[in-house]
Structure 1
Amino acid sequence: MSLKTSDRKKRNNRILYALVFLVLGFIFSFSYRTLGPGSESQQMKLEVNDREETFRKDLIEQKERNKQLADEISKKQKSIADVEQLLSNSEQNHDALVKEAKSLRLLLGVVPASGQGIRVELEDGDYDPTQQNPNEYIVHESQVLMVVNELKIAGAQALSINGQRINSNSSIKCTGPVIAIDGQTFPAPFVVEAIGDTDALNSSLTLKGGVMDSVMSDNIVMTIEKKKEILMPALRDDIEG
């Protein structure tokens, strides 16, 4: 074998070894990168896990925050409902007070009144003055007061006698064949007018054994008429004072 052939073999062996070492190095490097503790794949997995954990914590915190906000909204809605109820009650109380004030003004007679109601007329009964006691056939203050008081109990909003407006402080006195109402004198027949629920007022007087039966048993003529509209003036200042 010549020297040249031997040198050529040695050179070829070196090249082969170099290629083998190069391939092995590449394989080791790739394996370390893919499977080793510091590989990019492992690093990516760690980053993904960290990100998921962060998202999980954020989601839990957001749910807690949402629950707190829902509780706050519920409390505020309750407060608003309470305020609305208070305002509603205030309005209802205001309306009730206005109605009560109006009713009191009507009962006191300080304002004119109008509305449906009834007209009650009390007349002296027929008698023979030569044979009978006339006092047993004329209208007395007791009969007038009986009618007025019954109408008040039945809910009359306003009352008048012979056109004279009366209130809770009015004075009704009998003086012979006439009646004095707050200093004003009126002869028979006596007409009592009452504004209010027509049926209720009429029923209160016509109950069996009630006012009408009692008055008529005293020989007094009593008639009742339902009215769609009754007008009453306010009390005069000199009487009211």
Structure 2
Amino acid sequence: MSKKGRKRGQLAVMVVCAVVGFLLAAQLRSVKLSGAADATNAARLETLQSLYNELMDQKDGLEDQVKQLQSELSLYREQAASGEAGSEALKAEVDKLEITAGLTDVEGPGVTVILEDSTSSNVTGDEADYLIHDSDLLSVINELRSAGAEAISLNGERILATSEVRCTGAVVTVNGRRYAAPYIIFAIGDPDTLYNAMTMRNGVADVLGQWGITVKVTASDLLLIPKYNGTVDYQYAHSVTPGEEEGEG
């Protein structure tokens, strides 16, 4: 074999070795990356599982607290109905406080408001302009409150002064639970007043309708709004006892 032939053979062997080495290095790197990804996913899964367990423990604790409070409330109601002097007035006050605090199911006349995302053509370039947001729902709720609504629910969730209504991605969180459109609001109060407040010109329904968002308002003779399914824990606010204000400062 000539010198030129041997050189070509050696060059070919070197090229093959280089290619094999490159492939081995790439394979090792892929294995390392895959191992790192698996480790990262395992760590994330462990963290998510820990958070899930913690939330479930909190949920169980809150359910126990609700049961205890409901038991105490039943005891107070029994005492109020025992026939003692002033019991009727006390029972009426307890009933009123239950409704105000959202601790009991209520029914009565009112309106139903159904909101659905817009199906209009997107002319602004921003899809979010045609979706229902937490601010839209809060505008409807505030309008109903201003018109004298005595109890309000959103997709079955009783709305209290402490209820949160906020966007979380493509859905809305209400009382810690997530809901997607359509959003159905029940409001108990004078049907005519509530209906007129919602359908008045340049009102909240009219403004949302300009974006193609469907707002359907229907008066009803009887609506059922469920009680608040949770607890309200006050950490900072407390009642002021007589004479306490004078002692401050």
Q: TM-score range by the shorter chain?
A: 0.5 to 0.7
Query: Could you tell me whether the CA contact under 8 Å between 2:149 and 2:189 is conserved in 1?
Result: yes
Query: Could you tell me whether the CA contact under 8 Å between 2:120 and 2:212 is conserved in 1?
Result: no
Q: Aligned runs of 1:25-174 on 2, under 5 Å? A: 102-128=95-121, 132-174=125-167
1:202 equivalent among 166, 187, 195: 195
Name the SS of the counterpart of 1:205 in structure 2. helix
CA distance in 2, matches of 1:137, 1:99: 46
Greater fraction of residues in helix: 1
Q: How many residues align?
A: 147
Deviation (angstroms), 1:108: 2.2
Deviation (angstroms), 1:160: 0.3
CA distance in 1, matches of 2:167, 2:213: 15
CA distance in 2, matches of 1:101, 1:155: 21
Name the SS of the counterpart of 1:159 in structure 2. strand
Consecutive unaligned residues of structure 2, counting only runs of 5 or more, are 1-85, 234-249
The change in CA–CA distance for 1:200 and 1:98 in structure 2 (over 3 A counts) is: farther
CA distance in 1, matches of 2:147, 2:100: 13
Query: Could you tell me whether the CA contact under 8 Å between 2:199 and 2:217 is conserved in 1?
Result: no
Match of 1:81 in 2: none
Query: Could you tell me whether the CA contact under 8 Å between 1:103 and 1:157 is conserved in 2?
Result: no
Larger Rg: 1 or 2?
Answer: 1
Match of 1:176 in 2: 169
Deviation (angstroms), 1:208: 1.5
1:229 equivalent among 200, 219, 222: 222
Give the fraction of aligned pairs with identical amino acids, expressed as a percent. Answer: 33
Query: Could you tell me whether the CA contact under 8 Å between 2:116 and 2:183 is conserved in 1?
Result: yes
Deviation (angstroms), 1:177: 2.0
CA distance in 2, matches of 1:240, 1:215: 32
The change in CA–CA distance for 1:215 and 1:104 in structure 2 (over 3 A counts) is: farther
Aligned-residue CA RMSD in angstroms? 2.5
Name the SS of the counterpart of 1:180 in structure 2. strand
Query: Could you tell me whether the CA contact under 8 Å between 1:127 and 1:134 is conserved in 2?
Result: no
